[in-house]
Amino acid sequence: MGLKVGLLGATFDPIHFGHLQPALAAIETLSLNEVWLVPNRSPYYKAEPIATDQQRWDMVQLAVEAYPQLKACDHELRQATYSYTTTTLQRLKQLYPEVTFYFLMGMDSFCRLPAWYDWQSLPDLAHLVIYRRPATEIYLTPVLEAWLKDKHGILPPQLHTSVQAARIHVIEVPQVAASSTCLRQHYADHKNVLPDNLPSSVHAYIMQHQIYG
């Protein structure tokens, strides 16, 4: 039987426990073999990361060292430009035909899914794993609500529970007070103390290279 691999993409500027926690929860809940953390390039409508590609890659590698089932994946960083999610999934499926991929995304991102390029084809390329935190508000557009019901047999109230449909899964993860924006500000304010929501190895790397201030 082939591997079941989760994919969690983000800018990781910097990576923190709010990224690692849903990856570990998906491994446990869905019996995944691994989750690959994929640093991505910023799309044209977002500001460039403060950390360089190399620094973001280094921080992800440091963050996963303590977790054997978490791997750093540089697939998107090796591309010349930003890649749409569907394009990345198509490439990875070609490179690893024996792998069943599970694409991880937060509930807030899922609610904005109709704004994504070619979004309706995502479940054809990978299982969707939507992680929901207890305080998350769920606002579905009529288009997304109809798609969930008609294509996947999921009603909106079910998103407040754990869902295990054929290609869409909803898992709950604990609330974590972690945000890359707040962490960047922490270092910009010249605070040298290790934040609770950051791996110590990543903190040491940030301090060594003075990435954010």
Domain that holds residue 38: 4-177
The predicted-structure confidence for 59-73, as pLDDT tens digits, reads as follows: 999 999 999 999 999
30's tokens = 């869905």
Residue 53: strand, helix, or coil: helix
In a domain, 197, yes or no: no
In a domain, 193, yes or no: no
Which CATH number does the domain housing residue 132 bear?
A: 3.40.50.620
In a domain, 64, yes or no: yes
In a domain, 195, yes or no: no
In a domain, 61, yes or no: yes
In a domain, 183, yes or no: no
Residue 145: strand, helix, or coil: helix
In a domain, 53, yes or no: yes
The pLDDT assigned to 2 comes to 87
The predicted-structure confidence for 192-210, as pLDDT tens digits, reads as follows: 888 989 999 999 999 999 9
In a domain, 155, yes or no: yes
Q: Model-level pTM?
A: 0.95
Upper half-sphere CA count for residue 154 (Cβ side, 13 Å): 23
Domain count, the chain: 1
In SS3 terms, 54-112 reads as HHHHHHHHHHHCCCCCEEECCCCCCCCCCCCHHHHHHHHHHHCCCCEEEEEEEHHHHHC
